[in-house]
Amino acid sequence: MTRPLSGLPLAEIPLPRAPLARVIAQVRFPPILAIRNPESVAVFQEAIRATYPILSEDRIQHMVLASAGTPDIREGRIWRFSDGEKKQWRASLSVDFVALETSAYISRRDFLERLGVILVALERAFKPAEAQRLGLRYIDRLTDEAVGRIAELIRPKILGILQPNKEPPLNLGGSVLHLLTEAQLLAEEGRILARWGSLPAAATYDPDALEPVSKASWVLDLDMFTPEPQRFANNELLATATRFSERIYSVFREMVTDEFLKFYEGEL
């Protein structure tokens, strides 16, 4: 394997107007039933309450099929800790995962520092035995002028049939309403589930992560994870998340052009 999937990370060029719609980090661990108990969760809440003061609770139902084929409906709960009315930052805690997400991403350093606080709070409150899965996901969404200039901003091999074509009989790009490409990439540190393409107005492929918007858009969704369990140690998990963010950035840079960086006010 060669860059962007292995080797030293690429130097980052900050984008003041980065089109990031959402960034999500999630760590899954063996179920801890004490997380169902509000009194136990209070210890975790107190550690992060200054930053995420608004608490809410989501009740979810899932179906488990018994050996006899009779479905068993079970209810779970997810504790949500957000930063205010706009809920631009949110931490989520369930019996088997903790997550941090934002629609107001500032920088890699800021996000990882916030993730570190969440992991420390969880480790101190509940001492999970291991991390069964660590995932980090960056979702970019291009709209308005960027969609009109997509051929300048995204590399031709990534665009596929959206790439301008001078031969009218073969030019399908102008008729595309919905086009989503999906690929799983093997990187040095783990796997990357990559999705990219065009969405019409009011459409989404993942309502939990990408809210529909009232206009056509082009998305680039890079979700890196490792299926191998590791010891639940906040410093080790944060180091893994840091390597993931660097690798995702290298893949991102492989897919966009220098014009993309300039368009979003990056300094080359």
- 144-181 pLDDT, tens digit per residue, is 999 999 999 999 989 877 666 555 545 665 666 778 89
In a domain? residue 171: yes
User: What is the tens place of the pLDDT at every residue in 172-196?
Assistant: 656 667 788 999 999 999 999 999 9
Torsions phi, psi of 183, nearest 5?
-145, 145
**The two three-digit tokens of residue 108, written as one number:** 């890699």
- DSSP designation for 11: P
**CA-to-CA distance for 233 and 127, rounded, in angstroms?**
9
In a domain? residue 2: no
Start-to-end Cα distance in the chain: 27
Domain hosting 214: range is 20-62+71-263
In a domain? residue 8: no
Q: Answer whether residue 1 shows pLDDT above 50.
A: no
Among 221, 175, 213, CA closest to 197: 221
In a domain? residue 9: no
| Torsion 257-262-263-264 (CA) sign | positive
> What total of structural domains would you count in the chain?
1
Among 18, 19, 253, CA closest to 155: 253
In a domain? residue 268: no
Express as a percent the part of the chain with pLDDT over 90.
77
Amino acid identity of residue 266, one-letter, is G
User: What is the tens place of the pLDDT at every residue in 48-90?
Assistant: 999 999 999 998 755 555 555 666 555 689 999 999 877 899 9
**CA-to-CA distance for 256 and 250, rounded, in angstroms?**
10
In a domain? residue 237: yes
pLDDT confidence of residue 62:
56
In a domain? residue 175: yes
Q: Answer whether residue 135 shows pLDDT above 60.
A: yes
Name residue 58's beta-bridge partners: 78
Among 66, 62, 72, 68, CA closest to 31: 62
User: What is the tens place of the pLDDT at every residue in 193-223?
Assistant: 999 999 999 999 999 999 999 999 999 999 9
In a domain? residue 157: yes
